[in-house]
Amino acid sequence: MRRNMRITWKFLQKFSLERTRSLLMSTRPIHVLDDNVVKMSTISPPPECLFKPMNFPHKVLMGPGPSNCPPRVLGANALPLLGHLHPEFTLIMDEVKAGIKYIFQTNNEWTVCVSGSGHAAMETACLNLLEPGDTALVGINGLWGERFADMVDRQGIDVKKLQRPMGEVFTHDEIEEALKKHKPALLFLTHGESSGSTLQPLEGVGTLCHKYNCLLLVDSVAACGGVPMFMDKWGIDCLYTGAQKVLSSPPGASPISFSERAKEKIKKRATRVRSFNFDMNHLANYWGCDGEARRYHHTGPISNIYAIREGLARLAEQGLEESWKMHKQCAELLHEGLEKIGLELLVKNKSIRNPCVTAVKVPDGVDWKAVTEYAMKTYRVEIAGGLGALAGKIWRIGVMGYNCTPDNIRLVLRALEEGLKMTGYSKL
Ligand SMILES: Cc1ncc(COP(=O)(O)O)c(C=O)c1O
């Protein structure tokens, strides 16, 4: 202890000597201000880039997200702030909850927005639904299963992987076999895989999970609102989505909902949730889901909540069935157009294609990046490349929410066709 104190004292002496020396050697003078406050000469100057106007090009975002926000959403985002516990603001939070219940088709009490992008909702599910001693079964057919498995592993919780190549989905039989074998507390599945562009069939999976005393967690960040979703009817125990896809709102507030079964598991945990920020016991109170007076937990992303409220209102006005129909029609228009210009879709089976994100194979010898650069330079249209094992091998086209229009599909097709011609692709 004494030795430690001597070391600390020596360190302090050395530190202050060096600090004094650097101040003395400083070439700039120390200014004495009028009010006798000494301004240190070592202050860095303000960054020059902030004195220039922000560079802001308008782009048509037809990648896997974000999608463009309609003016009413942008307008809401620019409204003046209210306090995060003011009654007018908590009323807006209640309206957001009602909107989430509608798009998820659920009556779950624990329905909130997590502050943060889709990853924050993903982490909330992981941290609350699992604890040491549990096993999680993770369906991996693209990036999102891999990410979730990583999140589970970081908590020191046992992960079992159910794997399929990108572009394929899981069958009920293989899910049941894995449930029998691993006896997991939780099964994770991605509804709309944005890296492999598949749509995982979910009907019946909840019943299967419950038969084996397992909770079903579904990531529908890149699908919800654009395809049918019936959280309660399908027995999904935890479901989350993102703001910046079909809801066409800025990222930063992510809808999530927990079934009674999931809530009970969280309430009966033997250990505390390993995150204060994402602890659903706190978030449920802040979102007025527990019948108690709302307490300060954190400052909610006020502007994002305004914006997602309008994104949800837009979808409610359109109606879920109309939105699902529009996404299907626009996706079909896109798929036909792609095939007409000689391109091949990654997912052959039409019934498992995610209409919100389409993966298109890059033909042999074509420089995928040159084509996306052409689209951006000529039309300011974003078309994305592939991820992981499919990097360089596919393009990904997003058709979501406000961007889901036949005009946007025609624009993407024109940009792709011209881009391909420009690279010398001969099949056109
Ligand atoms: C299926 C899926 N899950 C999760 C995420 C993560 O969302 P975010 O980027 O908003 O954190 C994404 C983002 O593209 C996604 O497509």
The Å distance, Cα 122 to ligand 1 centre, comes to 9
Rounded Cα distance, 321 and 225, in Å: 9
Rounded Cα distance, 206 and 262, in Å: 12
User: Does residue 117 line the site of ligand 1, with CB under 6 A?
Assistant: yes
Rounded Cα distance, 73 and 91, in Å: 18
Q: Are 164 and 108 in contact (CB under 8 A)?
A: no
Buried/exposed 362-391: b ≥16 CB within 10 Å, e otherwise: beeebebeebbebbbeebebbbbbbbeebe
Q: Are 83 and 91 in contact (CB under 8 A)?
A: no
Residue 115, classed as helix, strand or coil, is strand
CATH number, position 195? 3.40.640.10
Does 135 share its domain with 275? yes
Rounded Cα distance, 10 and 4, in Å: 10
The Å distance, Cα 65 to ligand 1 centre, comes to 8
Q: Which of 317, 349, 364 is the last residue of a domain?
A: 317
Q: How many domains does the chain have?
A: 2
Q: Which of 317, 333, 366 is the last residue of a domain?
A: 317
Does 196 share its domain with 329? no
Q: Are 331 and 318 in contact (CB under 8 A)?
A: no
Does 85 share its domain with 189? yes
**What dihedral angle (degrees, nearest 10) is formed by the CA atoms of 372, 374, 380, 384?**
0
In a domain, 181, yes or no: yes
Nearest to 100 by CA among 291, 247, 263: 247
Does 91 share its domain with 215? yes
pTM for the model stands at 0.91
Is the dihedral angle over the CA atoms 362, 366, 369, 374 positive or is it negative?
negative
Looking at residue 352, its pLDDT comes to 98
Does 387 share its domain with 290? no
Q: Which atom of ligand 1 is nearest to the CA of 243?
A: 10
User: Does residue 219 line the site of ligand 1, with CB under 6 A?
Assistant: yes
User: Which range marks the domain in which residue 356 is found?
Assistant: 60-64+319-422
User: Does residue 387 line the site of ligand 1, with CB under 6 A?
Assistant: no
The Å distance, Cα 118 to ligand 1 centre, comes to 5
Q: Are 160 and 311 in contact (CB under 8 A)?
A: no
Residue ranges in the chain modelled with pLDDT below 70: 1-41, 426, 428
Does 313 share its domain with 373? no
Does 280 share its domain with 338? no
Looking at residue 27, its pLDDT comes to 44
Looking at residue 425, its pLDDT comes to 83
Does 262 share its domain with 330? no
In a domain, 28, yes or no: no
In a domain, 168, yes or no: yes
Does 373 share its domain with 311? no
Structure-token pair, residue 278: 């994402």
In a domain, 53, yes or no: no
Rounded Cα distance, 70 and 104, in Å: 22
Q: Which of 288, 317, 346 is the last residue of a domain?
A: 317
In a domain, 125, yes or no: yes
The Å distance, Cα 147 to ligand 1 centre, comes to 10
Looking at residue 297, its pLDDT comes to 98
User: Does residue 398 line the site of ligand 1, with CB under 6 A?
Assistant: no
Q: Which atom of ligand 1 is nearest to the CA of 64?
A: 14
Mutation pick for ligand 1 pocket among 113, 115, 119 (CB with most ligand atoms within 8 Å): 119
Does 384 share its domain with 396? yes
Does 244 share its domain with 380? no
Cβ neighbourhood burial of 299 (10 Å; 0-12, 13-18, 19+): exposed
Looking at residue 232, its pLDDT comes to 98
Does 159 share its domain with 299? yes
User: Does residue 419 line the site of ligand 1, with CB under 6 A?
Assistant: no
Q: Are 187 and 155 in contact (CB under 8 A)?
A: no
Rounded Cα distance, 306 and 142, in Å: 32
Rounded Cα distance, 428 and 148, in Å: 41
Q: What are the binding residues for substrate?
A: 396
In a domain, 217, yes or no: yes
